[in-house]
Amino acid sequence: MYYLSKSDLLHIGINWEEMIEKIKETVYTLKDGDFAQPIKPYLRYRDVTNRIIAMPAFVGGKVSFSGIKWIASFPDNIRRNIPRANSVTILNDADTGVPACIINTSHVSAVRTAAVTGLVVKEYLQRNRQEKLTVGIIGFGPIGQQHLDMISTLLGSRLHQVNIYDLKQPDRSLIPAALQEKVNIVDTWEEAFEQADILMTCTVSKKPYINKVPKKGSLQLNISLRDYVPEFINYANHIVVDDWEEVCRENTDIEVMHKTKGLTKSGTLSLVDIICGDKLQNAAEEVVMFNPMGMAVFDIATAAYFYEKAKAAGVGTVLAD
């Protein structure tokens, strides 16, 4: 059995185009019904702001692996200089169930999250022909940082400016040298939000605060899921979710919109609808809001991708049975 550490994964590096293609391939396995993914249980005890989530899945198609991610979120960790989120993923051979690889996935988890966002951004770029695009990022922890890396790669020369807001003044050294001139650290969430063609929430906010009209034609990427007031439903022409049954719980903005504004599954689009269908084709002037709960199938596909890369590069440790 293989073991891949964080340094093994950093050695392999990130190829965003390949990662996003892997996520796209996985969306097609969802469309084909060639997957299994039970609703993920949340383990909570003592301080219920903490949680450990079990995320099992099988992904068919070219991925053909099953496995589980076991991911802990302890928000106060960052005060002790420990990352909020920590996880391991076990990959099992799809035919025999034999564990093939254990991966320290704290870094991979953030990469998978940004790659799912990246797939939606690519869809947006197909219908938005604006030459220059402004990006807003609210919350600049590991998830915000991976999103900056992904979006700057995807947009390339079309990236005009990035406005980042965090409750704690972000450390400028976390911003790559090549982006320093394009990145502004701003003092309010409104400054990140108002000009944004593409807005990403990457906070750990417990209550919503985004209560303004978004820029026309903007893409609102609600990664942290608890940032938009329910009235935002009036500004979003299309609400996209990764999985309605998953995301409509745990006090997400979608659940609150469901309970207070009557949003139902049929009032939303899924990733399959927008990636495998053309449900957003005529949405150039419209506001699209994406709400991903995080799907285990993407974790397994991402883990399998890094496992194959590691074997090809001779990276990783082989553990005795």
Ligand X SMILES: NC(=O)c1ccc[n+]([C@@H]2O[C@H](COP(=O)([O-])OP(=O)(O)OC[C@H]3O[C@@H](n4cnc5c(N)ncnc54)[C@H](O)[C@@H]3O)[C@@H](O)[C@H]2O)c1
Binding residues (CB under 6 A) for ligand X: these are 75, 78, 84-85, 113, 138-144, 165-168, 189, 202-205, 223-225, 292-294
Q: For residue 253, is it left (φ>0), alpha (ψ between -120 and 50) or beta?
A: alpha
CA angle 116, 121, 126 (to 5 degrees): 135
Q: Which is nearer to ligand X, 139 or 214 (CB)?
A: 139
Q: How far is the CB of 240 from ligand X (least distance, A)?
A: 13
Q: How far is the CB of 133 from ligand X (least distance, A)?
A: 21
Q: Which is nearer to ligand X, 141 or 316 (CB)?
A: 141
Q: How far is the CB of 7 from ligand X (least distance, A)?
A: 19
Q: Which is nearer to ligand X, 142 or 316 (CB)?
A: 142
Q: How far is the CB of 102 from ligand X (least distance, A)?
A: 20
Q: How far is the CB of 273 from ligand X (least distance, A)?
A: 18
**CA torsion, points 17, 161, 294, 311, in degrees to nearest 10?**
30
Burial (CB count within 10 angstroms: exposed 0-12, middle 13-18, buried 19+), residue 238: middle
Q: Which is nearer to ligand X, 71 or 102 (CB)?
A: 71
As a whole number of angstroms, the distance between CA 299 and CA 301 comes to 6
The pair of three-digit structure tokens given for residue 100, joined into one six-digit string: 């093939």
Work out whether strand 238-241 and strand 183-185 pair parallel, antiparallel, or are unpaired. Answer: unpaired
Q: Which is nearer to ligand X, 98 or 179 (CB)?
A: 179
As a whole number of angstroms, the distance between CA 319 and CA 321 comes to 6
Q: Which is nearer to ligand X, 250 or 286 (CB)?
A: 250
SS3 category, 243: coil
How far is CA 269 from each of CA 167, 266, 276, rounded to the nearest angstrom?
32, 8, 12
Q: How far is the CB of 321 from ligand X (least distance, A)?
A: 33
Cβ-closest residue to ligand X? 141
The pair of three-digit structure tokens given for residue 57, joined into one six-digit string: 């899945």
How far is CA 130 from each of CA 4, 160, 198, rounded to the nearest angstrom?
41, 11, 12
Q: How far is the CB of 202 from ligand X (least distance, A)?
A: 5
The pair of three-digit structure tokens given for residue 227, joined into one six-digit string: 């940032």
Q: Which is nearer to ligand X, 40 or 309 (CB)?
A: 40
